[in-house]
Structure 1
Amino acid sequence: MKKILVTGANGQLGSELKVLSTNYLEYEWVFADRTQITLDNLEQLQSQLKAINPAIIFNCGAYTAVDKAESEKELAFKVNHLAVEFIAKYSAENDVKLIHVSTDYVFDGSSSIALNEDAKTSPINVYGESKLAGEVSCLKENPEAIIIRTSWVYSKFGNNFVKTMQRLMSERDTISVVNDQIGSPTYAADLAQAMIDILQSSNWTSGVYNYSNEGEISWYDFALAIQEFGGYKCDVNGIPSSSYPTPAKRPEFSLLDKTKIKKTYKVNVPDYKESLKKIFA
């Protein structure tokens, strides 16, 4: 029985993989939280990986506090770059299949068309820089690895935009949401299923892939969809990013082109509204 190690087990993606794992009992699943796989301590990481001895690694663990990363650069790079480099090296040396999860924040947001995997990367915040460094090291240390870039992840687990909007819309009469950052959300359960589908496919084609739900929307549009499905009566106003300054800059446009993953792996990429409905079901 092949053993799958899932890092970041308590995150949104790790939690959704845990739910799905019950349908795939031909694998032995190991869900490791940050105490079992310490991505910020490389000395411990080596012995932890050896002790688990996986055949497959889904690297879902990351430093994801985008604004905090601006003041915690060293920690962000340790987790998102050095630990990824280490895991990639380990997987290459031990013939372990690796799927590593990255982000749309590797782009600067200056595009006006959906970004494919070959689009120029140029991150505008520390989080994006650390994730791009991780991608580069990952493929350098293990050219057989698969990297999946995703965006605007939400799920019924953890903290995310959907949950924040549900809370604010039930508490307030009026909320404001930025309307000039364009992309597409990703329901973590869809991405988790896509990762398992790739693993189960007879085809293993390494490299970078994009995955998010279909649709080209702003955060404001996303908020309106949440309002619609939740039946909230609150007023939702669209505002420019300049009215809501944050420590880290966000890309204005980071819509991902999913053609490659659909062609290569025939994975299902639902429309964002179809997936959002499931949270309210």
Structure 2
Amino acid sequence: MRVLVIGRTGQISTELLARLPRAGHEAVGLEPPDFDMTSAAQVDAAFAHYRPEAVINAAAYTAVDRAEDDRALAFAVNATGPHLLGEAAARAGVPVVHYSTDYIFDGTGGRPYTEADAPAPVGAYGASKLAGELLLHLAQPRSVTLRTAWVCSAHGNNFVKTMLRFGKERPEMRVVADQHGAPTFADDLADAAIALLPRLAAAPAGDRCFGVFHLTGQPHTTWHGFAEAIFAGAAARGQAAPKLIPITTADYPTRAVRPANSRLDCSRAAAILGIQAADWRAGLDRCLDALKETRP
């Protein structure tokens, strides 16, 4: 299957472009400056040129704090882009897999969020991602949105790499301990999308495999708990670990509000799609091993 991957150097797109050929697919990755997903003309030209049989949108504006002051660009990339992709995919008769975020919820709930819970984004980033979900599925009902959270990998910028970098520079670190969620590794998210492709390509509109699903790692933890696991793994690989001090969200103010509860209930993806939430601790081991291999 010829798969058009929107994004080329991001965490998930990097994994997709490496893994799709291994699964027997032809993969084409597009991103700026060569491709602008907010341009209808460029989206249409890409479909006409590459004639994809499926599309995976792994591109997004993810600068959560900056989005508060740059709402126009956040909405262009996170909402207009998916809408244009959905329209082009509908005309071509091909399915779309799209990644979204826990930030579409306000994070005040006392349990893991299900797909039936009403979205209530409190910031520009979450609002733009929610708009993208709605516009994509309106344009192309044969779409799957995978909402995820706390994405990490050996590529790009993420919490694991930030912790390891600061851990080399500081004897102690303060890490938020009252935000709850689950780390999710990009290779697991890529594998999930790839596993879906044959089913999506064959399924008609209205099939249960289309729609919105939650998919994160498991088990749930906090940023502080995740940091403890990162440094335990790093110590086992020869890096000294700093002292970790738990702090509250109020101790670490940011421009945009972070959800206190980023826990997503992933049981629907397991029941309908057959995709289980992966253990993030195994993903962390893979990530740390990969980073150790690339260390100069």
Q: TM-score range by the shorter chain?
A: over 0.9
* Equivalence for 2:294: none
RMSD over aligned Cα, in angstroms?
A: 1.4
Q: Which residue pairs with 1:156 in the alignment?
A: 154
* Distance in 2 of aligned mates of 1:146 and 1:40: 20
Structure 2 stretches lacking a partner, 5+ long: 290-296
Distance 1:268 1:121 in 2: 23
Match of 1:91 in 2: 89
Structure 2 SS opposite 1:22: helix
1:259 to 251, 267, 280: 267
In 1, Cα distance between equivalents of 2:268 and 2:126: 22
The letter for the 2-side match of 1:93 is: R
**Correspondence for 1:278 among 258, 281, 286:** 286
- The corresponding residue for 1:10 is 9
Verify: 1:219 aligned to 2:223, yes or no: yes
Runs of 4+ in 1 over 4 A off after TM superposition: none
**Number of the residue aligned with 2:293:** none
Aligned residues: 279
How big is the shift at 1:254?
A: 1.5
* Identical counterparts, % of pairs: 34
Q: Distance in 2 between matches of 1:81 and 1:266?
A: 28
Q: Say which of 211, 224, 238 aligns to 1:207.
A: 211
Q: Identify the residue that residue 75 of structure 1 maps to in structure 2.
A: 73
Taking structure 2 as the reference length, what is the TM-score of the superposition? 0.91
Residue of structure 2 equivalent to 1:118: 116
Q: Secondary structure at the match of 1:147?
A: strand
Equivalent residue letter for 1:280: L
Q: 2:144 aligned with 1:146, yes or no?
A: yes
What's 1:53 paired with?
A: 51
Is the contact between residue 21 and residue 27 of structure 2 (CA under 8 Å) also seen in structure 1? no
* Aligned-partner Cα distance in 1 for 2:48–2:148: 29
Q: Is the 8 A contact 1:111 1:254 kept in 2?
A: no
Deviations 1:45-90 (A, max 9, x none): 3223322221100011111111111111000000101111111111
1:39 to 37, 40, 60: 37
Match of 1:247 among 252, 255, 260: 255
* Aligned partners of 2:152 and 2:183 also within 8 Å: yes
Q: CA deviation at 1:31?
A: 1.3
Mapping for residues 181-192 of structure 1, pairs under 5 Å = 181-192=179-190
Amino acid paired to 1:3: R
Pair 1:19–1:268, CA change in 2 (3 A): farther
Q: Secondary structure at the match of 1:236?
A: strand
Alignment gaps of 5+ in structure 1? none
Structure 2 letter corresponding to 1:259: S
How far apart in 2 are the matches of 1:268 and 1:109? 23
Q: Deviation digits for residues 15-69 of structure 1, max 9, x if unmatched?
A: 01122123122x2211112233312434433223322221100011111111111
Counterpart contact for 1:209–1:261, Cα < 8 Å = yes
Alpha-carbon distance between aligned partners in 1 of 2:263 and 2:281, rounded to the nearest angstrom: 16
Q: Measure how far apart 1:215 and its partner are.
A: 1.1
The 8 Å contact of residues 197 and 265 in structure 1, kept in 2 or not, is answered as: no
Query: How far 1:200 sits from its partner (Å)?
Result: 3.1
Counterparts of 2:38 and 2:274, CA distance in 1: 35
1:236 to 244, 247, 257: 244
Q: Compute the TM-score of the two structures, normalised by the length of structure 1.
A: 0.95
Q: Is the 8 A contact 2:37 2:84 kept in 1?
A: no
